[in-house]
Structure 1
Amino acid sequence: MGKLKHPIIVGVLTLISATGLYFLFDWMFTRPKAASAQAAPIEDLFQAHFIMMALLFALIMVIMLYAVVVFRRRPGDDSDGPHIHGNTGLEIAWTIIPTIVVIGFGVYGLVLFREVTAEQTDEMVVEVVGRQWSWSFEYPDAEVSSARLVLPVDQPILLEMYSEDVLHSFWVPEFRVKQDLVPGSMMPLRITPTEIGSYRLRCAEICGTGHSDMLADVEVVSRADFEQFLIDSAFRYSDLTPEERGEQFYVELTCNGCHSLDGTVGAGPSWQGIYLREEVLNDGSVVIADDDYLRRSIINPNEQIVQGFNEGAMPQNFGERIATVEAEILANEGVEIDVIADLIAFMQTLDQ
């Protein structure tokens, strides 16, 4: 019993300490509520890591502190400590056991990865486009575009994601899954939302000066509400006034990612009161924000930079994107729309 005294005490103290540490870690690393089917296995992986972290930390610290207290040099004891030449069994154990644990976690992670990325039956496709610094969403089956991501609850979703410029990363913390968007490639991500509610999409890859503002609303709704969303989102541009179309393009072209409507300064000047406003440029000259200036600023944003803003902050491909939108409207509705003229008409409604 004498030989087992210290191992038993260390074992009991380690279990007590590990239990306390586990609950401490679980409290410290608070996660938002899980809101997708993929979140459950990922939560299990979190718990497995917390258990292992608590056990290893407790084992190391208990043995160290126990040895310091119990086997410390006593007053008046000037003798040498015992000469220890090693313990072959212990050395083999602390080599093999950690190796097995690491391999086990690797296999567990691979199984979990295959589970959360597995193709589901009856998947609904949503196309996601990330660009500096905004998101847009297409529902190809319904021919609907939106600046917010609306998903029906308990419906398997396949997100087909594209980047128009640099690396971005799709991350809704409540869904627990994340996927980088790589220019030139379609990156898939599968989600089955399980909780009705409002969430926030963030870009988790530093992508430029407007990275922190690259956000989008995510709504998980009932199937009936989702069908109503599709009905409400389907419209003809030709049925709208120029001002109404301009407001729609402001969202669809993600101008709202850089230009506020309330005077707040973002990556670009606010549109509040912008029409016919005097703008001081970086070279010190002054221009009037009339139709000609606004059109040139959209097509060639680096030509005249407003003072206080950086060259290159605005994407350089808006001319191409606008041409694509106009071509699609002409093909679908048989009418020609001047998108920039509509945007300017919308700006004229935004008084100080």
Structure 2
Amino acid sequence: MKHFINVILLVLALTALLLFLTDPPAWMPLAASAEAGPVDWLFGLHMDVIIFLYVLVNGVLLYAVVAFRRKPGDTGDGAYFHSNTRLEILWTVLPLAVVLYFSYLGLGVLRQTTAAAADELEVIVTARQWSWSFEYPDYGIAAGELNLPAGRKAHLVLRAEDVIHSFWVPEFRLKQDTVPGQEKYLRITPTEVGAYKVRCAELCGTGHAAMLAPVNVLPPAEFDIWVQKRLGTYVEPEGGAGEGPGEEDIVALGQQLAQANGCIACHSLDGSKLVGPSWKGVFGRTEALEDGSSITADEAYLRTAIIDPGSQIVAGFANLMPANYGDTLLPSEIDAIIAYLKTLE
């Protein structure tokens, strides 16, 4: 009985210590969606049970090694046990019961996180090496960043153009692979206004680490204004327009857009060769094209290269650049990217 009590005390003490040290809220990112709640709850319960079972098995083992070690002068053989049917049934039935119980809980969380809503916002998400694009069929607009209204469920239709990618915003807690030739679905209800990043969570080539895109959760009124600006129907309140952005602001916006749309994954800034031509000193540079002609990279060429990249391919490079930037970028945003390119000497 003494050993039994000692084991119980050891297991309880170690379990309490590990539960304190591994408290999930201490190292999990911000929970920024309604779906994050049940996911975090299930994850926390998983951690608690796993820690307890780990300590139970290894605590008993550790105690047995210390308490029943060979005593000085003891040269006899250890006791021989052929089998213990009750124990074998216990350690088979107990893990099975735990697994089945968590399967039941997991199905419940899955139902919660995939439930549809009557007023959900549909967004078509397209992944490609190495950028994301977002279409809003309800409004007839597209963008290189994902903007969502807080409190409204979004129905994401996920597609891939080339290889398998994976849509993941850590603060939303949900992740879904995108598979070429298939449509996958994800439902998210953002709750915390703020700026986040969507990451590709599936190794997809040399630019995988740079496959990021902004995710902005906006108050509903601000989301409506953003939609109107994309449609070109927004009217500034009287006296609210103020002075336009300065040259430095435009260049900074261009740099931000280039990073957000994955341009840096294919175009180096230091002259090294990547998937596409380097942007170092690109403005004013003479480029040899694959048809044998040459062209000077002026503003007109850079604009064409962004909107219709397949029309004038630089010699030595494949036609891999997405051809939808004319849809996802506003004319003013393309101007900002060109302004940024002009500064890269």
TM exceeding 0.5: yes
What's the CA shift string for 1:92-111, capped at 9, x where partnerless? 11111111111222222222
Contact 1:37 1:192 in 2 (8 A): yes
Mean Cα displacement is larger for which, 15-24 or 41-50? 15-24
Question: Which residue in 2 is equivalent to 1:221?
Answer: 218
Q: Residue 282 of structure 2 is aligned with which of 260, 274, 293? A: 274
Q: Residue 320 of structure 2 is aligned with which of 311, 315, 318? A: 315
Contact 2:286 2:297 in 1 (8 A): no
Question: Which residue in 1 is equivalent to 2:200?
Answer: 203
TM-score by length of 2: 0.77
Question: 2:137 and 2:163 mapped to 1: Cα distance?
Answer: 24
Question: Which residue in 2 is equivalent to 1:86?
Answer: 83
Question: Which residue in 1 is equivalent to 2:185?
Answer: 188
Stretches of structure 1 that go unaligned for 5 or more consecutive residues are 237-243, 306-310, 330-336
> Structure 1 residues 112, 264: closer, same or farther in 2, change over 3 A?
farther
Contact 1:272 1:350 in 2 (8 A): no
Contact 1:274 1:289 in 2 (8 A): no
> Structure 1 residues 108, 264: closer, same or farther in 2, change over 3 A?
farther
Shift of 1:197: 0.9
> Structure 1 residues 222, 264: closer, same or farther in 2, change over 3 A?
farther
Question: Which residue in 1 is equivalent to 2:263?
Answer: 256
Q: Give the aligned residue type for 1:56.
A: L
Shift of 1:79: 2.4
> Structure 1 residues 187, 26: closer, same or farther in 2, change over 3 A?
same
Shift of 1:177: 0.4
Q: Residue 139 of structure 2 is aligned with which of 138, 142, 148? A: 142
Instruction: Give the paired residue count.
Output: 311
Question: Which residue in 1 is equivalent to 2:236?
Answer: none
Question: Which residue in 2 is equivalent to 1:44?
Answer: 41
Considering only aligned residues, what root-mean-square deviation do their CA atoms show, in Å?
Answer: 3.7
Question: Which residue in 2 is equivalent to 1:334?
Answer: none
What's the CA shift string for 1:283-322, capped at 9, x where partnerless? xx996644798769932787612xxxxx55x52663xx58
Q: Where do 1:104-183 residues align within 5 Å? A: 104-183=101-180
Question: 1:264 and 1:204 mapped to 2: Cα distance?
Answer: 28
Question: Which residue in 2 is equivalent to 1:332?
Answer: none
Shift of 1:81: 2.2
> Structure 1 residues 139, 204: closer, same or farther in 2, change over 3 A?
same
> Structure 1 residues 82, 262: closer, same or farther in 2, change over 3 A?
closer
Q: Give the aligned residue type for 1:115.
A: Q
Contact 1:273 1:347 in 2 (8 A): no
Shift of 1:141: 1.9
TM-score by length of 1: 0.76
Stretches of structure 2 that go unaligned for 5 or more consecutive residues are 234-249
Question: 1:255 and 1:33 mapped to 2: Cα distance?
Answer: 25
Q: Residue 298 of structure 1 is aligned with which of 296, 309, 325? A: 309
Q: Give the aligned residue type for 1:268.
A: G
Contact 1:214 1:257 in 2 (8 A): no
Shift of 1:213: 0.9
Q: Give the aligned residue type for 1:229.
A: W
Please give the secondary structure, in 2, of the residue aligned with 1:298. Answer: coil
Mean Cα displacement is larger for which, 87-96 or 16-25? 16-25
- Percent identical pairs in the alignment equals 41
Shift of 1:270: 4.5
